[in-house]
């Protein structure tokens, strides 16, 4: 059965410029139906406009063809194509070869060299342990597993792959799909949000993106060069759209970090005045939750930190003994303390002796560390007994606790 449908004439010209000459020749621009005039009734102006459109179409087609030829010629140059191949994996190289026949012809002549020049996993030269391969696949491939003790691990659970290789979103180490963690489910994405302080929330998004991509302290205030929109999108968190790509050392403690951060907020929302929270300064001064960016926070400040010196002294003495330049007559240490005859570090400017329980003398190390500013706490969250509502709903800018990148909010518009 065949159904014939008579469609009405279109009132708007087509978006494709290649169809506009046909649209003009059929008399659509005059607002009159085609039956009111024939081909012989076309005026000189109508013929000239159609000819101009044909010339414009030919110019655009020639420009596109010229650009395509230039790209194909550039890919035919061996240094250029080898440099490009060193930054992509086999899947990207295959997609590039299938984009155009000219590009494929330029790449096929260097096939062997390109296959060996693509990205390699950093763990490719590491030999996997056959005894722990199955156990590592079951444990290290899931983000719920947390290493206990001081066991070291490089994430090698089997032979490395070449088809899907990329940089870790947190530490930028190049790893393959076999050396990454198993991506968490979509229902767990809400646990990755961390709250930012007022200064980091109001700062330009490009400043947070530049500091997270370079992994340097206070790069947001030092960097003055503008960042491209495409580069800005790559520097932001894309765990919800493109998936989680983290190496196993970085993704091994995601669950414990999320539970610890949420536990802090759960305690603070339940610490009501009726339970003794009135007048203790919770959330005031430096007693609030620190900004998730840590020492890279825009409003970061230096505070004193006290550390027990017993373990710190032992590590410092061992490192000094292992150093070839160490000698018994070495000068006092850099923190202002001196070393006595027994090899113990005595009190000094940064090391203070205190009397502990039972009259035991202990030493504490006072150092200046940089911490982030306190984040705001909202009253509606305390009343509802919930936390991080604005960040989870996407209304406020947040910080991803998985990839350590900024998560745009509703007011952050990316063109």
For residue 371, list its beta bridge partners: 301
Q: State whether residue 87 is helix, strand or coil.
A: coil
pLDDT digits over 316-331, tens only?
666 666 655 544 444 4
Which of 290, 261, 264 lies closest to 191 in space, CA to CA? 261
The residue that leads in pLDDT, 336 or 380, is 380
Question: What are residue 302's DSSP bridge partners?
Answer: 370
Distance CA 207, CA 225 (A): 10
Instruction: For residues 197-203, give the mean pLDDT.
Output: 91
Percentage of the chain beyond pLDDT 70 is: 58
Dihedral-angle region of residue 83 (phi above 0 means left; psi in -120 to 50 means alpha; beta otherwise): alpha
Tell me the per-residue pLDDT of 33-60, one tens digit each, with 9 for 90 and over: 444 444 444 444 444 555 556 666 666 6
Q: Compare 142 and 167 and report the one with higher pLDDT.
A: 167
- Contact in structure between 372 and 197 (CB atoms under 8 Å): yes
Distance of CA 320 to the CA centre of its chain: 38
Given the DSSP bridges, would you call strands 301-308 and 351-355 parallel, antiparallel or unpaired? unpaired
This prediction has a pTM of 0.67
């Amino acid at each position: 059965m065949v159904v014939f449908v008579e469609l009405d004439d279109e009132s708007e010209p087509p978006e494709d410029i290649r169809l506009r000459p046909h649209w003009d020749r059929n008399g659509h621009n005059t607002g009159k139906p085609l039956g009111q005039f024939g081909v012989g009734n076309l005026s000189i102006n109508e013929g000239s406009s159609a000819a101009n459109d044909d010339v414009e179409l030919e110019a655009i087609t020639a420009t596109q063809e010229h650009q395509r030829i230039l790209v194909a010629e550039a890919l035919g140059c061996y240094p250029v194509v080898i440099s490009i191949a060193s930054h992509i994996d086999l899947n990207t190289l295959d997609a590039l070869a299938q984009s155009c026949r000219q590009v494929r012809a330029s790449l096929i002549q260097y096939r062997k060299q390109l296959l060996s020049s693509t990205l390699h996993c950093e763990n490719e030269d590491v030999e996997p342990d056959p005894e722990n391969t199955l156990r590592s696949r079951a444990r290290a491939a899931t983000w719920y597993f947390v290493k206990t003790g001081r066991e070291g691990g490089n994430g090698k659970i089997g032979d490395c792959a070449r088809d899907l290789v990329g940089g870790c979103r947190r530490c930028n180490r190049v790893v393959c799909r076999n050396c990454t963690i198993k991506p968490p489910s979509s229902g767990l994405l809400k646990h990755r949000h961390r709250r930012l302080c007022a200064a980091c929330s109001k700062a330009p998004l490009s400043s947070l993106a530049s500091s997270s991509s370079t992994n340097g302290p206070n790069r947001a205030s030092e960097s003055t060069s503008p960042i491209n929109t495409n580069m800005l999108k790559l520097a932001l968190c894309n765990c919800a759209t493109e998936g989680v790509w983290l190496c196993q050392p970085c993704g091994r403690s995601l669950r414990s970090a999320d539970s610890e951060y949420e536990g802090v907020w759960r305690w603070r929302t339940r610490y009501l005045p009726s339970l003794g929270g009135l007048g203790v300064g919770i959330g005031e001064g430096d007693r609030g939750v620190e900004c998730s960016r840590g020492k890279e926070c825009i409003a970061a400040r230096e505070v004193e930190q006290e550390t027990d010196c017993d373990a710190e002294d032992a590590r410092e003495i061992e490192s000094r003994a292992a150093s070839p330049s160490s000698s018994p007559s070495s000068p006092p240490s850099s923190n202002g303390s001196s070393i006595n005859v027994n090899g113990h570090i005595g009190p000094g400017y940064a090391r203070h002796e205190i009397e502990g329980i039972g009259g035991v003398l202990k030493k504490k190390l006072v150092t200046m560390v940089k911490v982030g500013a306190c984040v705001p706490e909202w009253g509606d969250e305390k009343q509802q007994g919930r936390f991080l509502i604005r960040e989870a709903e996407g209304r406020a800018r947040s910080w991803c606790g998985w990839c350590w990148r900024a998560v745009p909010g509703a007011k952050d518009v990316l063109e």
